[in-house]
């Protein structure tokens, strides 16, 4: 294998001659063999956009020769398309606050730019990763800005899946509006409700999650770009400071904003705790929905059996015909993972010290993972579960007719104490409460139906 020699402040190192990455990335790969996962493709994409905008801005400001700047722009445009992702070799979990990620990108862009102008890779006296590609930048403003923009794109994908789930739950709310059933508190029979109301509650919760995520996503477009090391804008030009965001804006439909206080924006990452909190809230809600779906579909003969989930696969290696609620189960497992990631994000943000937070790599790693897990879980829950749910309407009506919960219908007429006595009588005589109510003639069939809010065909009949 042909090699080339590169030098840094530590010493010299052999690299594959055809490698686009350089000595910094090579050392980082050796130092950080942690997750075995490379940088997220969207993080690479948005790092490339920032490099492209910086090269263009520095050309227009007269700080970067056009030949060099144009080559860097072209290389960055290629990287944004994913062409050079395999050359980004550093682990996604790394020390150095993201410096290795930034330098890996700088080195690949420098060497590709050199190639574009007909020069050998490693000819850094012509195009240098730091002096030219990283001009007017620092890892400390580039890396968090790219992370925010990547996260915003991922959140938009999540919102698409949540809107799909929201609409599907709303359709089930309408479909099951007339399916009367027992409402339960603390797993005990309480008062009548409808299956449509249950799905309406699911839908309302998901809709709130959508609104929360939409609101917090907007905060990701406030960047500390041009703040460089600690927000003081050291090593930048006046032209760059005034135009970098304007140039970067060409790549985005959402409006970008410069943070009012760049020093504060560089050291404090509390927005990521807020985002993680929204993701945790969503995860908790999704798991609660799945808990309810597992209960309502339990049985099929000895449980609630008020609805039937789509059959996805055989459920047992030993019990013939057993079917398990595998989709709600996997969504709950996603929720558990996201809740765990939230603690990691919280500790990473809390762990920042003085002018910089060094723990952004794990923060981005876990937030990206949470968002993608929730997107996949939302789509799976909708397609493989919600859309195919069927109501066991007759069973719901039958169990409601025989439920103690109907005693609540006459409590306002008899008083709480007398209603309790009547309930005890029904239990002792082993007669349904609906029959007892009819026999006492304290409430007409029409009044009872109004209390239950049942269609005429599903009114409980009871028996003498």
Read off the DSSP letter of residue 256.
P
Rounded to whole angstroms, the Cα distance separating 301 from 303 reads: 6
Rounded to whole angstroms, the Cα distance separating 166 from 208 reads: 10
Q: Are the C-beta atoms of residues 182 and 405 closer than 8 Å to each other?
A: yes
Choosing from 316, 429, 444, 463, which is the catalytic residue?
316
Distance of CA 406 to CAs 106, 411, 422, Å? 71, 9, 11
Give the residues across from 307 on adjacent strands.
391
Peptide bond into 452 cis (omega under 30): no
Which tokens go with 423? 């309930």
Which residue in 223, 230, 25, 256 sits closest to 139, CA to CA? 230
Give the residues across from 258 on adjacent strands.
223
Which residue in 179, 178, 170, 176 sits closest to 201, CA to CA? 170
Distance of CA 67 to CAs 72, 132, 240, Å? 9, 11, 18
Give the residues across from 38 on adjacent strands.
91
Rounded to whole angstroms, the Cα distance separating 219 from 148 reads: 9
Give the residues across from 12 on adjacent strands.
7
What DSSP line would sit under 321-335, residue for residue? T----HHHHHHHHHH
What sign does the dihedral 350-352-358-360 (CA atoms) show?
A: positive
Backbone angles phi, psi at 211, to 5 degrees: -65, -40
Question: Residue 190: which H helix or E strand, with range?
Answer: strand 188-194
Rounded to whole angstroms, the Cα distance separating 342 from 344 reads: 5
The question of whether 316 is a catalytic residue gets the answer: yes
Q: Could you give the residue numbers annotated as active site?
A: 316
């Amino acid at each position: 294998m042909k090699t080339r020699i590169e030098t840094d402040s530590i010493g010299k190192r052999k690299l594959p001659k055809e490698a686009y990455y350089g000595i910094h990335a090579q050392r980082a790969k050796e130092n950080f063999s942690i997750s075995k996962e490379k940088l997220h493709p969207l993080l690479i994409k948005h790092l490339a956009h920032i490099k492209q905008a910086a090269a263009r801005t520095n050309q227009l400001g007269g700080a970067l020769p056009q030949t060099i700047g144009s080559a860097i722009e072209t290389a960055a445009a290629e990287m944004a398309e994913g062409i050079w992702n395999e050359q980004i070799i550093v682990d996604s979990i790394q020390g150095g606050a993201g410096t290795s990620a930034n330098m890996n990108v700088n080195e690949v862009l420098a060497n590709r730019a050199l190639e574009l102008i007909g020069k050998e890779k490693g000819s850094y006296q012509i195009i240098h990763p730091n002096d030219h590609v990283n001009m007017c930048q620092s890892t400390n403003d580039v890396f968090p800005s790219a992370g925010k923009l990547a996260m915003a794109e991922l959140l938009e994908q999540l919102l698409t899946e949540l809107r799909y789930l929201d609409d599907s739950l709303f359709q089930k709310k309408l479909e099951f509006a007339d399916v009367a059933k027992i409402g339960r508190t603390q797993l005990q029979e309480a008062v009548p409700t409808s299956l449509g109301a249950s799905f309406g509650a699911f839908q309302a919760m998901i809709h709130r999650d959508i609104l929360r995520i939409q609101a917090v996503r907007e905060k990701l477009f406030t960047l500390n770009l041009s703040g460089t090391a600690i927000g003081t804008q050291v090593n930048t030009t006046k032209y760059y400071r005034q135009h970098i965001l304007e140039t970067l804006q060409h790549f985005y439909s959402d409006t970008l904003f410069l943070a009012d206080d760049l020093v504060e924006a560089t050291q404090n990452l509390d927005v990521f705790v807020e985002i993680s909190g929204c993701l945790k809230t969503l995860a908790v809600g999704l798991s609660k929905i799945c808990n309810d779906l597992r209960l309502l579909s339990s049985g099929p003969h000895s449980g609630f059996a008020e609805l039937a989930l789509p059959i996805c696969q055989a459920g047992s290696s030993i019990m013939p015909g057993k079917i398990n609620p595998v989709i709600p189960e996997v969504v709950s497992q996603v929720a558990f993972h996201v809740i765990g990631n939230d603690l990691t994000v919280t500790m990473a943000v809390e762990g920042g010290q003085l002018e910089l937070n060094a723990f952004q790599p794990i923060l981005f790693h876990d937030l990206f993972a949470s968002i993608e897990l929730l997107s996949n879980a939302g789509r799976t829950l909708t397609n493989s579960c919600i859309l195919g749910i069927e109501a066991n309407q007759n069973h719901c009506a039958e169990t409601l007719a025989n439920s103690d919960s109907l005693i609540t219908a006459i409590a306002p007429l008899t008083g709480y104490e007398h209603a309790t006595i009547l309930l005890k009588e029904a239990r002792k005589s082993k007669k349904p409460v609906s029959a007892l109510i009819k026999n006492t003639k304290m409430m007409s069939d029409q009044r009872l139906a109004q209390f239950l809010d049942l269609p005429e065909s599903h009114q409980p009949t009871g028996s003498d």
